[in-house]
A and B are shown apart, each in its own frame.
Chain A
């Protein structure tokens, strides 16, 4: 039985990652157990000061290449709240379609490229290319579909251009929407095969439970991916909603010595955001096809195993496809036309929120009478999850020690836990670093 362990997974020195896992165990006693996030501040809030409201989302979109749709939407929604703008039903639907594309894109990537290797016993996705080429090829096909889906609605998927304060600056034609509908239907076999892979791997998802608070957007109409109030569900099933404007009373940011990233907490010591939080909050309004998949995967609310976040993502990609098919049917039936942008009715402050793949995302801005940004604030879901990861670690490590796990096994279990959250901690740089071999 392992009673002493020294684990230090120091990704800061491995070029791009900014999350460290540090665990010291001596004679069965856990002396140190930390999730550290020593990333450099990026000062986005200062970058938007003095910028016209029409520019702000263009800048904040650059916070993240994977979640750029979500940052664009949360930013535009906050600006529209500050400027007294209400967009049309058509714009709302097109933005929902775009939101689903991003969610699908990110989840497909996370499930297949980051988590599948763990569950298939491979050190990374690259050995899988040789042993499970079909899984990788299917993931890349679905990823490509998502890219084309997002590009059609957003002008481009990465940093979309169509979503602007007041509506949509460009809209697809009905013919193009029909084409997307055909693409989604054609992808159903790949989707079903992807779900079958998740179902086959679900039994090897680590068993670990830590009931926590789950926070997500929620409304009475749908699954709440694009819009809603803030909702909290506690382990005893107690639910409470808050207006988005009160987001600071929910997030309660604070600092800890081990990290430069801010942490958050609400009613309990920590809370979780992300697919599992959405599933636990909004299961009742999940699309029936997605519910069927959830049942087949053995998932029901409240699910308190954080490793199951990945399985919740699998449920959500089914929801993304079927919700989008319904949206497409509505848009095709009504027709789509380029509408004039809604003009500001006031200048003040406002907040906006949307769900990004990793959870609830908040933006807030204040504008002066000329429409120039005076101040901004952004709270990303990854920072809302750091504290929850820390508390997961504190429960998991003693359990692993008691189970007699080796250092390597403990390290893998902790890395898999972090991976299950798919934290957004490496969007800083993406430069090439090579040596010439010929």
Chain B
């Protein structure tokens, strides 16, 4: 199985871009040959999709990459180091890269994984994406599907 996974809070402005891409894929029936998963802010549940049967995984998430808001980049976990510091006070914080690192360490099979990082404009509380991201959601979905197929 191949997975297209959206991570982020649906109600935190552009942080929702991952779940919004997944929503676009499922609502329009584009999830053919793969499963589209909205993990929202439950990043640790990524482990539920890691198994010997998992052929590939593409994670779509908002990412601070220094790009123009709305632009995106694909990269693999091996190409980056996370700069995120988790407080360690709560299970409610998340970092996809740390989850993959932990799963690898615990012996989980890690399939080919790519991350589609989309530069946010703002991540304040709110249910709408910024215009510059909202208008490009179909483009993000098409690019994500194409990348997942190539993994």
Given contacts A136-B105, A432-B64, contact A156 B38 (CB under 8 A): yes
Query: Assuming the A-B contacts A136-B105, A156-B38, A158-B39, are A425 and B45 also in contact, with contact meaning beta carbons closer than 8 angstroms in the complex?
Result: no
Least CB distance from B27 to A in Å reads 13
Q: In residues 6-25 of chain A, which contact B (Cβ within 8 Å)?
A: 11, 14-17, 19
Task: Verify if A369 is at the interface (C-beta below 8 Å from B).
Answer: no
Number of interface residues of A (CB under 8 A): 61
Contact between chains at B106 and A64 (CB < 8 Å): no
Which residue of B has the minimal Cβ distance to A151? B48
Q: Which one, A41, A144, A427, contacts B92 given CB within 8 A?
A: A427
Q: Indicate which residue in B63, B64, B90, B108 contacts A423 across the interface (CB closer than 8 Å).
A: B90
Chain B, residue nearest A21 (CB): B89
Task: Find the B residue at minimum CB distance from A114.
Answer: B91
Contact of B7 among A62, A125, A430, A435 (CB under 8 A): A430
Q: How far is the CA of A11 from the CA of B39 in the complex (A)?
A: 24
Report whether B93 and A426 are in contact in the complex, using a CB–CB cutoff of 8 Å: yes
| Shortest Cβ distance from B125 into A: residue | A42
Known: A19-B87, A62-B10, A434-B65. A133 touches B106 (CB 8 A): yes
Q: Is the C-beta of A345 less than 8 angstroms from some C-beta in chain B? A: no
Contact indicator A65/B92 (Cβ below 8 Å): yes
Chain A residues contacting B132 (CB-CB under 8 Å) are none
B85: which A residues are within 8 A, CB to CB?
Answer: 14-15
Q: Please give, as numbers and ranges, the residues of chain B lying within 8 Å of A185 by CB-CB distance.
A: none
How far does the alpha carbon of A86 sit from the alpha carbon of B24 in the complex, in Å?
34
Q: For A129, list chain B residues within 8 Å (CB).
A: 102, 105-106
Complex Cα–Cα for A42 and B40 (A): 16
Q: Does A1 contact B (CB under 8 A)?
A: no
Please determine whether A158 and B91 come into contact, CB atoms closer than 8 angstroms.
Answer: no
Assess whether B87 is in contact with A14, with CB atoms less than 8 Å apart: yes
Query: Which residues of chain A are within 8 angstroms of B64 by Cβ–Cβ distance?
Result: 431-434
B47 sits at the interface (CB 8 A):
yes
A422 to B88, CA, bound (A): 10
> In the complex, are the beta carbons of B90 and A429 less than 8 A apart?
no
Report whether A157 and B45 are in contact in the complex, using a CB–CB cutoff of 8 Å.
yes
Q: Does B11 make an interface contact (CB < 8 A)?
A: yes
Chain A residues contacting B7 (CB-CB under 8 Å) are: 430
Q: How far is the CA of A158 from the CA of B10 in the complex (A)?
A: 12
Whether B102 and A158, one on each chain, are in contact in the complex, defined by CB atoms closer than 8 angstroms, is: no
Closest to B17 in A: A431
Decide if B101 is an interface residue (CB 8 Å cutoff).
yes
A3 to chain B, nearest CB (A): 27
Complex Cα spacing A438 to B79, Å: 5
- Residue of B9, B12, B65, B108 touching A140 (CB-CB under 8 A): B108
Interface centre among A17, A110, A423 (most CB of B within 10 A): A17
- How far is it, in angstroms, between the C-alpha of A426 and the C-alpha of B87 when the chains are bound? 9
- B58 an interface residue at 8 Å Cβ cutoff? no
Chain A nearest CB, measured from B45 CB (Å): 5
Q: Are A422 and B42 in contact (CB under 8 A)?
A: no
A140 touches B106 (CB 8 A): yes
* Residue contact A125 to B38, C-beta cutoff 8 Å: no
CB of B107 within 8 A of chain A? yes
With the chains together, A130 CA to B106 CA distance in Å? 8
Is the pair A436, B75 in contact by a Cβ cutoff of 8 Å? yes
Name the distance in Å between B87's Cβ and chain A's nearest Cβ.
Answer: 3
Chain B nearest CB from A15 CB (Å) reads: 6
9 contacts between A and B (CB under 8 A): A19-B89, A62-B10, A124-B86, A140-B102, A143-B45, A144-B47, A426-B93, A429-B62, A434-B117
Instruction: List 10 additional A-B contacts (Cβ < 8 Å) besides A65-B9, A434-B82.
Output: A14-B86, A44-B11, A62-B11, A64-B41, A133-B107, A143-B45, A144-B47, A156-B38, A428-B9, A430-B61
* Leading 3 A-B pairs by shortest Cβ distance: A17-B87, A65-B41, A129-B105
